[in-house]
Amino acid sequence: MRVIVLGTAAGGGVPQWNCACPTCEAVRAGAAPARSQDCLAISADGRNFHLLNASPDIRTQLTSCAALAPGPGARQTPLRGVLLTDGELDHTLGLFQLKEAAGLRVWAPDAVANTVPAREIAGRYHGWQWPELESEFEFDGLRVTVFPVSDKQPKYAAESTLPGPWVVAYRIEDPATGGSLVYAPCVAQWPAGFEDFCAGASCALLDGSFYAPDEMADATGGGVGSGAQLAMGHLPMAGEHGSLARIRRSPGTRWLYTHLNNTNPVLDPVSPEHAELVAAGAELPVDGMELVL
Edge to edge, what strands does the sheet with 136-139 contain? 136-139, 142-150, 167-173, 180-184, 203-207, 254-258, 282-283
Classify 80 as helix, strand or coil.
Answer: strand
Backbone CA torsion sign across 98, 100, 106, 108: positive
pLDDT (tens digit, 9 = 90+) per residue, 67-113?
A: 999 999 888 999 999 999 999 999 999 999 999 898 899 999 999 99
For 25, the enclosing helix (H) or strand (E) is helix 22-28
pLDDT (tens digit, 9 = 90+) per residue, 8-43?
A: 999 999 999 999 988 999 999 998 899 999 999 999
Cα 221–chain centre separation: 28
> 74-99 b/e with 16+ CB inside 10 Å = b?
eeebbbbbbbbbbbbbbbbbbbebbb
Q: 281: buried, middle or exposed (CB in 10 Å: 19+, 13-18, 0-12)?
A: middle
Supply the pLDDT for residue 249: 76
Residue 159 to residues 25, 88, 153, 167, Cα–Cα distance (Å):
37, 15, 9, 16
Min mean pLDDT across 153-157, 161-165, 248-252 is at 248-252
Task: Output the pTM of the full model.
Answer: 0.94
Supply the pLDDT for residue 4: 98
Distance CA 244, CA 191 (A): 15
CATH number at residue 134: 3.60.15.10
Distance CA 249, CA 246 (A): 6
Residue 225 pLDDT > 70, yes or no?
A: no
Supply the pLDDT for residue 131: 97
Supply the pLDDT for residue 227: 53
> Based on the structure, what is the number of domains in the chain?
1
Residue 248 pLDDT > 70, yes or no?
A: yes
Q: Which domain holds residue 81?
A: 2-292
Residue 220 pLDDT > 60, yes or no?
A: no
More confident residue, 45 or 75: 45
Distance CA 37, CA 260 (A): 9
Supply the pLDDT for residue 284: 96
pLDDT (tens digit, 9 = 90+) per residue, 113-143?
A: 999 999 998 888 888 999 999 999 999 999 9
HSE-up of 264 (CA within 13 Å, CB side)? 30
